[in-house]
A and B are shown apart, each in its own frame.
Chain A
Amino acid sequence: MTCAELRERIVDSASASQGGHAPVVAHLEGCAACRAAAREYGALDRLVRPALPPSPPADFEGRLRLRLSVGSRHPVSSAWLLGGAVAVLALAALLAPRFLRTRPKPGPPAPVEPAAALVPAAATAPAPEAPPPDIVAVRSTPISFQTVPLSAEEKAEAVGLHDFDFLNSFRTLARLDAFFPEPVGPRAPVPVPAGGFPSRPPDTPDAIAGRFLDWQRAARTERIRLSGLEKSLRDRPEEERSLLEERWALVRDFSDDQRAGLRRLASRMDELDSRAHDRLESEIRLIGRLPKEQRVARWRALPFAKPLTGQEFASAERLLFSR
């Protein structure tokens, strides 16, 4: 038995015993290289098996049905697939009231309407003679349930996008390297937290329902812009995307004003010539490694920091102290 024959036998338990173990054992006794190979094959087997079997997201079936309902190009696009997708979306619609806050009305409280009364309004157009539905507020922006419902294709597009605030910010985050912990190496991966990054596309019924409402009220140009940003994000290498998503976790609680400050800060850094930029980046990285109590004085002493506006200054400080 040659080494190649032995290795081809021991990689499959069924064939390992064919013809008896004796030739295998005899070869292994006399061949140190194959003994080492056999040991390492076993170690590799254990290495590639995760400790806990990974599972797909909980809404996997809903996403599959949505996808099947969108893909009318294939032969099995029958009503039951659409029915399944509608069931998933109906679940999302049922959950939607969690996101909705009825606009407070002056005067005595109106009698409580059953929640179910809202659902048909979302799913079907009201009868012509019916009174117009209440205007409701979603995240402070008034919308009406009379908005044209999203098509399955629009829904599929909407659920594939990352967090909108993240999409609006990732390019800025990419330009502020100096303010974030240095990656271990140019291609070192960022550990993905359990459950994924907070900027990930919606993957729970609640999040999907919220996304549909956001998408429904977004103008066409805004949808195109966000989809373009998503494409631009996905065109980046995976490790770079992870890095940006990790950075986003640090700034997602920043106020709008502070995020605007970050954009201006990035623009100011872009205006520097490459030598000054590199020097500044080194100085900021150095400050980032200092104990927090020493960072303030060092940061404020930087010539770059002196002409910053209050908004830029506050954003930079918060970023420096957020890690």
Chain B
Amino acid sequence: MAPPRSATQPAPDSGDLLLVAAGDSAALTRLVTRWSQPVYAFFERTREPSAATEATLATFERLVVSSTRYAPDVPFPTFLWGIAVKIVQEGKTGDVLEIPAPKLAESAAARTAFVRSAIAALPPAERAAFLLTRVARLPATAAAEALGTQETEVRRRIVRALESLRTSLAPLLESTGAPASQGAPEGGPMGATS
């Protein structure tokens, strides 16, 4: 059960990270339970599953190692995503896969690989801003904190990333819109204007 929040008690995640620093094994389990899926999903959009698992493991390893330096006035998500961002920016910038249109049309796996390669091909700073806001679903203000930059700069990076992806993912955009297997048609931040 999550501990009650109060003005004097840190939020559960921050509190658990302080406990991790103090050697509380159960606190690590709770953090892993709450955060391993979103962190894994963050990496899984740029690399295949085993590499995404490896990056997620590296994120949590760094989280534990740096827990002794954690100051509870920093929101836990900012701290965690700051680590994940460093790892995603360390990733190699690859090339967008060249996949024939018929293969893209028939294979969900090919579409997934295509999307991954396009995101991985973004420059590191744009890739990080894009993943934080589009996959981790952070508002630009929170993404800016994790990236250690200004909110306006984050929005600029997102626009640049989206413009690059409009070009690189054009074969998928030109078909019948986003294929159903790729994403649920739920309203995101763009929902109001698209």
Contact = CB atoms under 8 A, between A and B. Distances in A.
A208 to B, nearest CB: 14
Contacts of B16: none
Contacts of A41: 162, 166, 190, 194
A61 B155 contact: no
Main secondary structure of the interface of A (DSSP, over half): helix
Interface in B143-162: 151-152, 154-156, 158-159, 162
Contact of A42 (B40, B61, B190): B190
Interface in B54-71: 56-57, 60-61, 64-65, 67-68
A67 B56 CA distance: 12
A137 B11 CA distance: 52
A165 interface: no
Interface string A162-184: 00000000000000000000001
A11 B49 contact: no
A10 to B, nearest CB: 5
Given A84-B28, A188-B103, A189-B113, A10 B190 contact: yes
A38 interface: yes
16 contacts: A8-B158, A12-B154, A16-B192, A40-B173, A41-B194, A48-B119, A48-B165, A49-B182, A50-B112, A54-B49, A67-B61, A71-B61, A81-B25, A188-B110, A192-B49, A200-B50
A46 B188 contact: yes
A54 B169 CA distance: 21
B105 interface: no
B72 interface: no
A11 B190 contact: yes
A60 B181 contact: no
Nearest to B103: A184
Contact of B64 (A45, A76, A200): A76
A32 interface: no
Contacts of A10: 190, 193
Among B21, B60, B180, B186, residue most surrounded by chain A Cβ atoms (within 10 Å): B60
A70 to B, nearest CB: 10
A188 B97 contact: yes
Nearest to B172: A47
A301 interface: no
B36 A56 contact: yes
Contacts of B134: 44-45, 48-49
B29 A61 contact: yes
B165 to A, nearest CB: 5
Nearest to A54: B44
A188 B162 contact: no
A74 B65 contact: yes
Given A48-B115, A200-B50, 6 more contacts: A8-B158, A14-B141, A15-B151, A37-B162, A51-B183, A184-B103
A219 interface: no
B194 A192 contact: no
Interface in A46-75: 46-51, 53-57, 60-61, 63-65, 67-68, 71, 74-75
B98 A187 contact: yes
Contacts of A55: 37, 40-41
A177 to B, nearest CB: 19
